[in-house]
Structures are given as C-alpha cells and as structure tokens.
Amino acid sequence: MPSSIVIVGAGPAGLATATFLRWQLGPETAITVLDARAEAGGKVRTPLLAGLPVDTGPDSLLARGAELRELIDGLGLTDQIVEPMPGGAFIWSRGRLRPIPPGATFGLPERLLPVLRSGLLSPAGTLRAGLDVVLPRTALPGDPSVGELVRPRFGSEVYDRMVEPLLGGVHAGSPDLLSAGSTVPEIAAMARTGRSMILTMRDRRRAAPKPPDSKRPAALVSLRGGLSRLTQAMVSEIGADSLRLGSAATGLAREADGRWTVTTPAGSHTADIVVVATPAYTAADLLEPLSVEAAGILRETPYVDVANVTLAYRPAELPQALTGTGFLVPPVEGAFIVGCTWLTSKWPHLANEDVVLIKCMVGRWGDNRWLPMDDAELEGRVRADLATIMGVVAEPFDRLVQRWPGAMPQYTVGHSARMDRLDALVEPLDGLLLTGSAYRGSGLAACATQAKATAARIAAR
Ligand SMILES: Cc1cc2nc3c(=O)[nH]c(=O)nc-3n(C[C@H](O)[C@H](O)[C@H](O)COP(=O)(O)OP(=O)(O)OC[C@H]3O[C@@H](n4cnc5c(N)ncnc54)[C@H](O)[C@@H]3O)c2cc1C
C-alpha cells in the first residue's frame, strides 16, 4: 500500500480521487492535494447573487452516475438532491422560442409530430428527418463525428436547429468535429445497432424499464445550496489540512528510488504516487520531460473558451413570468448567446417571489467573440439578445460575470484511440496516473467514475 500520495489539482476529479482514496486506504496514507488557485473546487463555484447561490460552472449532475451517487451518499448529501421544476426547455428557432419536443435525445427526434407542432423545423425539414425511417443503413467510418451520424439520417435542419444547440449547450462544441463515440456514446451505439435511428430509439424506449410510479426521475439534478456543497464536503472528508492551495505544480520528476517529486514555487512534495488531475494542457507541461509523445497527445485535445453572465431582476420587470428551465440558441440564428438558464424557475431551491435570476452562456467552438470584451460590453451584448428573444429590456439590479477561458475539453474524432495510446505511454511511468475531464468523460459524473477507478488502481498496488 502506498504511504504517500500527491494529487495535482483540487477540482472535482482530484478531490473525488482523494475522497475515494481516503475511504479505501484510511487515515494512515498521507494524501496531499495541490491546487494553483487559492480555493479548492476547480470549475465548481457557487458565489451568491442577490443572496442566492449561483453555480457559475457546472450546475447539474447526471443523476444516474453510480460513482457520483456513491460520493453524494457517502458524504451525507443525499437529502440535498433537487430535481429541476417541470416546464422543460426551449430552442430559439425561426423567430420564436419553441419547446424542445419530448423524446429528443441529444436533439435527435424520436417522434416527428411534436417536432412539426413545435415549429422548430420547417415542414420540409421535418419531412426530411422522417426519411431516416426508410433510408438504407448509413456506412460509417471507424470513429464518426456526430455530424457524420446525424446529417445523412435526419438532414441538415435537425443538425443545425436541434443537435448543434444541444451539444453547444453541453460541450460548447461543434458536432462536425466531436467524436460521436467519445461524446455521445449512446447515440453512437444506436447508430451501429439498427438501420433507422428513429426506430432504434423507439425500441430502446419501449424496452426501458418503467418506473413504478410512472414518474420518470430527472436525468440531471442539483444540490440545495449549489454544487460547491459537494466539493466542500469532499474537502472536509479529506481534511482541509491535506490541501495546499495557491501551489501551482511547475515540475514533475522521478527520483532514483522510483518516488515522484512535484515542484511548486513554495517548495516540493515527494510521494510514492502522483495523480495529475489538471486540464490536459497543464498535464502536458508536467509530462513533457517524461514523455514528449504523451505531452503531444495531451496537447491534441482542444479546449473552448466560454463565459456566463447571470442577471438579477425583480419579477415585475419581466414581460411575463418564466415557465420552463431556459433555452438554447442554434449557431445558425447568429445570436451572441449560446443559451440561457432561468435559474429561479428551474431549481426549487432558488425559487422565490422577489428575484428572477437569468444565466446566459456565451462562447462555443469557433465563436470566442466574448474574449476581448470587458464585463460591461459582455453584459450589453447579452442583454441585447435577451431583449430580442425574451423581450426583457429592464436594467438588472445585480449581475455576476464568470469567465472560463480554456474550459471545455473537446473529444474530437480519434479521441478514444489517442487516449489508448496515452495510457500505453503513461503505464511504464510507474506510480504516475492521470485523471479528470480531459480523458474519458468530461462531466462531473464521468470524473467521479474515473476518480474511483484511479483510486482503485492505487489501492491495489
Ligand atoms: C461553464 C461550465 C459549465 C459546466 N456544466 C456542467 C454541468 O452542468 N454538469 C457537469 O457534469 N459538468 C459540467 N461542466 C464540466 C465540469 O466543470 C467538469 O466536469 C469538471 O470541472 C472537471 O473537473 P476536473 O477536476 O477534471 O477539472 P477542473 O474543474 O478544471 O479542475 C482542475 C483543477 O486543477 C487546478 N490546476 C490547474 N493547473 C494546475 C497546476 N499547475 N498545479 C496545481 N493545480 C492546477 C485548477 O486550478 C483546478 O482547480 C461544466 C464546465 C463549465 C466550464
């Protein structure tokens, strides 16, 4: 059993690895978690706006993630889980906010009548989507992009007005570049299962076990008080004295005795095991002296710059009460915002009678217009879109701007093969492990899954 472990990065992945290790190895193993920032939590941040906790990084968790649930349950947060309020989300398409039709998995329509009724697509575009049912099987390359799966089956309107906004909302990415297998494995699997995606989706829905009370549990949930409850609980579990904040790792070297030394400006840390849980570009810098090829692969994962602006209004200042969780905007609409979450009508723990919070997302693959803007210009551009789309012209009484440059890793075509090669290159570097959103799943649930596997590998030594 290793007696000392250093984890570089106190984001959700690093903290989850440390938590699982603490649970598996007990207090005898010295675990030190370094982070460049003065606070732990990585992209999970929950500042207050108008007295309400606003998640400016991730704001929802994939409820079915088993390892994430294990963390939440083990940290005593189960009773803090909240489901979004009913009402659903919208897409800004063809001059109106239109409801996302039920059963649209990642923007792929399972039923066409609701799509036609929603007006999301033109009648011709809806008809073209229906051709999926009769078209012969599509020949696919080994690792197709999402676009290569969608366009031939459903046509370009489904791609432009349903799939691209939904993937833009989650990954800030372009479906033409993203690997279907790595980004939306369920869709990739469906495309390989049957000839028609619509018929395969129907079969899968019919075969899925029905919940006993006929109420489907929400796929995405949050925590009362915001998601930093989770990262803070992990810090408490590990022990705050195990954290070294404001300690950016600047070097990583293997000693003659096989142990690892991580260098920071404030000093160095030597341990039996080192886990690097930073974004891929930082991991690349740390691994460069150990394996130029591994560093090169890490640098092949591009990252997209995003930001969000949360605005606080009085309810009477909005043209109408908000019903629903928010909306997404397809790039073809040429707007500045990528989407908008109506926080106070989405989450029960934020609902109140005095304040309406609207969180607007900007930035996606190929669009970082926001980067050079100062906060005032960014807010102005966002508010111009809110006026067009929602008719909101009032001055917000408070606001919060969160910039996330280099934030969203893109699993582009070939990602899985690159990760296999990376694993093979890192394997001989005995005692060095990589984990986090850069590798095999970019959301919090996937980070928890990878963290548990990383901890298990260490515990098994
Ligand atoms: C705007 C936004 C919205 C998102 N929404 C969701 C969502 O709703 N649901 C969801 O599941 N996921 C969401 N995500 C993704 C989620 O944030 C990631 O899954 C998660 O943050 C990844 O955790 P991580 O620990 O791998 O990386 P990070 O959170 O990036 O943490 C990495 C840590 O490494 C530290 N670090 C970097 N360099 C060094 C160094 N040299 N030395 C020491 N420390 C270093 C950083 O300071 C940071 O704390 C969202 C992401 C963004 C940006």
CA distance 108 to 159: 8
The percent of residues in the chain predicted with pLDDT above 90, rounded, is 89
What is the assigned CATH class of domain 4-58+65-80+224-301+412-459? alpha beta
Predicted pLDDT of residue 29 = 94
Q: Are strands 273-276 and 432-434 parallel, antiparallel or unpaired?
A: parallel
Ligand 1 centroid to residue 45 C-alpha, Å: 10
Which residue type sits at 301? T
Q: Name the residue of 19, 37, 39, 43 to mutate for ligand 1: max ligand atoms within 8 A of Cβ.
A: 43
Ligand 1 centroid to residue 97 C-alpha, Å: 31
Res 218 pLDDT > 90: no
* 408 CB within 6 A, ligand 1: yes
DSSP assignment string, 118-169:
HTSS-HHHHHHHHGGGTSPPPP--SS-BHHHHHHHHH-HHHIIIIIHHHHHH
Please identify, by atom number, the ligand 1 atom nearest to the C-alpha of residue 442: 19
pLDDT range class, residue 337, cuts 50, 70, 90: very high
* 36 CB within 6 A, ligand 1: yes
Please identify, by atom number, the ligand 1 atom nearest to the C-alpha of residue 9: 34
Q: Name the residue of 437, 440, 449, 452 to mutate for ligand 1: max ligand atoms within 8 A of Cβ.
A: 437
The strands making up 337-342's β-sheet, listed across from edge to edge, are 96-99, 89-93, 326-328, 337-342, 356-362, 303-313, 398-409
Task: Summarize pLDDT for 114-128 with one digit per residue, the tens.
Answer: 999 999 999 999 999
CA distance 336 to 138: 35
Q: Determine the average pLDDT of the residues in 324-350.
A: 96
Task: Summarize pLDDT for 88-116 with one digit per residue, the tens.
Answer: 999 999 999 999 988 777 889 999 999 99
Res 219 pLDDT > 90: no
Predicted pLDDT of residue 204 = 87
Ligand 1 centroid to residue 42 C-alpha, Å: 5
Res 148 pLDDT > 90: yes
CA distance 297 to 288: 11
Q: Determine the average pLDDT of the residues in 287-302.
A: 98
Ligand 1 centroid to residue 43 C-alpha, Å: 4
Ligand 1 centroid to residue 301 C-alpha, Å: 15
Residue appearing with tokens 């890490």: 298
Please identify, by atom number, the ligand 1 atom nearest to the C-alpha of residue 408: 53
Predicted pLDDT of residue 215 = 67
317: number of Cβ within 10 Å? 13
Q: So where are the chain's domains? A: 4-58+65-80+224-301+412-459, 102-207, 303-409
pTM above 0.85, yes or no: yes
Instruction: Collect all residues with Cβ–Cβ distance below 8 Å to 197 and sequence separation of at least 6.
Output: 108, 132, 149, 153, 154, 187, 190, 191
Q: Evaluate whether 29 touches 453 at the Cβ level (below 8 Å).
A: no
pLDDT range class, residue 64, cuts 50, 70, 90: confident
Ligand 1 centroid to residue 102 C-alpha, Å: 31
DSSP assignment string, 288-323:
TTT-HHHHHHHHTS-EEEEEEEEEEE-GGGSSS---
Q: Tell me which residue has its CA closest to atom 35 in ligand 1.
A: 9
Ligand 1 centroid to residue 414 C-alpha, Å: 22
Please identify, by atom number, the ligand 1 atom nearest to the C-alpha of residue 43: 29
Q: Do domains 102-207 and 303-409 have the same CATH topology?
A: no
Q: Which of 142, 141, 171, 175 is nearest to 158 (CA)?
A: 175
Q: Evaluate whether 322 touches 88 at the Cβ level (below 8 Å).
A: no
C-alpha Rg value of the chain to the nearest Å? 23
Q: Tell me which residue has its CA closest to atom 21 in ligand 1.
A: 43
Q: Evaluate whether 308 touches 360 at the Cβ level (below 8 Å).
A: yes
* 303-409: CATH topology: Polyamine Oxidase; Chain A, domain 2 (3.90.660)
pLDDT range class, residue 206, cuts 50, 70, 90: confident
Q: Evaluate whether 172 touches 119 at the Cβ level (below 8 Å).
A: no
* 102-207: CATH topology: protoporphyrinogen ix oxidase, domain 3 (1.10.3110)
Q: Determine the average pLDDT of the residues in 405-426.
A: 98
**Residue 372: both structure tokens together:** 């050079």
